[in-house]
Amino acid sequence: MPIIKLTEKAVAKMKAPDPSGNQATYWDTGLRGFGVRVSGATNDKSFIVQRAIAGKTRRITVGACNVLTLAEARVRAQGYLGDFARGVDPKSRKAAGATLRQALEEQQVYRTAIEGHLSAWLDQPLSNITRDAVEARHRAIADEVEARHVADGNRLAALWTKRAEAAAAKGCMDAAANHRAQGAAALKRKLWRGHAAANTAMKSLQTVWNHVAERNEELGASPVRLRRMWYPSQPRERMVRSDEMPAFYKAVMELNNAVGRAYITLLLFTGLRRGEAASLQWSAVDLQARVIRIPAANTKSNRKLDLPMTDVVHDMLVARRAIGNTGDFVFFAGGKSGHIMETKWLFDSIAKASGVRISAHDLRRTYLTIAESCDISPIALRALVNHSLGKDAMSGYIQMSAERLREPAQRVADKLKELCSAEAPSGENVTRLQA
């Protein structure tokens, strides 16, 4: 196994999957027992420590290389190696003592569901989370989410009723009828239940738990054993309808927050997942080639995505770049992550202005629906949103490059612009859409 001086640059150059197809380990010359494990099958790279104790070789995963810096990993590794030196097996106590927050560090894709609904458990040891607590919290999440939908529905219905009355008083009967229709739609939305949110939170907890338990048998089985208690799930159908698009887009462009405007524009015109868009780094943006290159480690599917920029996305990114001082992230924010995280308030503002209440994931559904209507090949459509191209033998041979996807991507963007009633600009040095 290679022994090298581990540096940030050296770790970044390690190819994953390893070209050999086998797992590879690179040991550090400076800290004995500390290294980087590179998968032979996936894009995963992890910091590890390994030592012998009581006649057995123990290997501990310190953390994923895309989550921890090398300096952070060294500090953690020194702690584990200190345990080994004292004759203490850190692996035997790691699982029982690990908190949910620590377990979540390597499972970024589940962060939203867990932090949103299980925040009270984040600093509890995993071993303290019981089956009874899981069942009680599962029911409570559904009730809490439903209560929020009821309150939002009533509030929006009252707002549209007030607008309808004002329009009728001015003799604008068509506008009054439209406002009343919006109010009725808001009341129907209050019937949405929190079943999906409750199921998602607990399935996320189960996945994170199992991820830890696979490496630490001492942790035991997951307390998520709901069996018949899972709420029945139905595919969600919420999206921005074609007739709602002008009002929705107008509300987006009138947001007071420039980062929020740009972020939602990217979601609408690419179908990117919420986290993929929010954590987009400038290092992934190639303005000259007009391609967004998202590494596999930053995608839910664990597949890299080379997405061609349409005119709308390119103009928005040029405008964001011109601002300067945005740090590493396109959608920078002052929090610990460095990028935009909580976006519910943006969608609340849009709903208040337009009557269209959706989520970030609903924009992905909107994009896919519009894209399908543009007569794009199913394989190109799946590639645009980074879905698997299929499991049959032929799909394994097909490689969809950014250039192959550029024309269909622009076709979808043109259709969206048409639905948004977004007019092309006139004159020089004018961006097509606000950012």
The yes-or-no verdict on residue 302 having pLDDT over 80 is: no
- pLDDT classification of 67: cutoffs 50, 70, 90: confident
Give DSSP secondary structure letters for 102-167: HHHTT-GGGHHHHHHH-GGGTTSBGGG--HHHHHHHHHHHHHHHHHHHHHHHHHHHHHHHHHHHHH
120-142 residue pLDDT tens: 988 888 888 898 899 999 999 98
Nearest C-alpha neighbor of 108 from the set 165, 61, 63: 63
Q: What is the DSSP letter of 216?
A: -
Instruction: Report the distance separating Cα 342 and Cα 167, nearest Å.
Output: 35
What CATH number belongs to 3-88? 3.30.160.390
Instruction: For residue 318, give the 3-state DSSP assignment.
Output: helix
| Least confident segment among 26-40, 79-93, 94-108, 357-371 | 94-108
Domain boundaries along the sequence of the chain: 3-88, 126-229, 242-420
Report how far apart, in Å, the C-alpha atoms of 136 and of each of 128, 193, 202, 208, 398 are.
15, 17, 11, 19, 47
Percent of the chain topping pLDDT 90 = 25
- pLDDT classification of 42: cutoffs 50, 70, 90: confident
Q: How many CB atoms lie within 10 A of CB 43?
A: 18
pTM of the predicted structure, to 2 decimals: 0.52
What percent of the chain is helix, strand and coil (3-state, nearest 5)? 55, 10, 35
**What is the mean pLDDT of the segment spanning 217-231?**
76
Instruction: Report the distance separating Cα 382 and Cα 89, nearest Å.
Output: 46
- How high is the pLDDT of residue 102? 66
- pLDDT classification of 73: cutoffs 50, 70, 90: confident
Residues 6+ apart with CB under 8 A from 184: 157
Most confidently modeled range among 151-155, 203-207, 341-345, 411-415 = 411-415
- pLDDT classification of 435: cutoffs 50, 70, 90: very low
The yes-or-no verdict on residue 392 having pLDDT over 60 is: no
CB contact at 8 A, 360 and 396: no
Please, what is the angle between helix 131-169 and helix 173-189, to 10°?
A: 170
What CATH number belongs to 242-420? 1.10.443.10
**Taking the C-alpha atoms of 326, 327, 332 and 337 in order, what is their torsion angle to the nearest 10 degrees?**
-170
CB contact at 8 A, 261 and 255: yes
- How high is the pLDDT of residue 105? 60
Q: Between these two residues, 152 and 280, which has the higher pLDDT value?
A: 280
- How high is the pLDDT of residue 275? 87
The yes-or-no verdict on residue 431 having pLDDT over 70 is: no
Instruction: Report the distance separating Cα 427 and Cα 94, nearest Å.
Output: 63
Q: Between these two residues, 50 and 181, which has the higher pLDDT value?
A: 50
Q: Between these two residues, 59 and 91, which has the higher pLDDT value?
A: 59
Instruction: Report the distance separating Cα 218 and Cα 93, nearest Å.
Output: 8
The yes-or-no verdict on residue 103 having pLDDT over 70 is: no
Which residue has 């009557």 as its token pair? 355
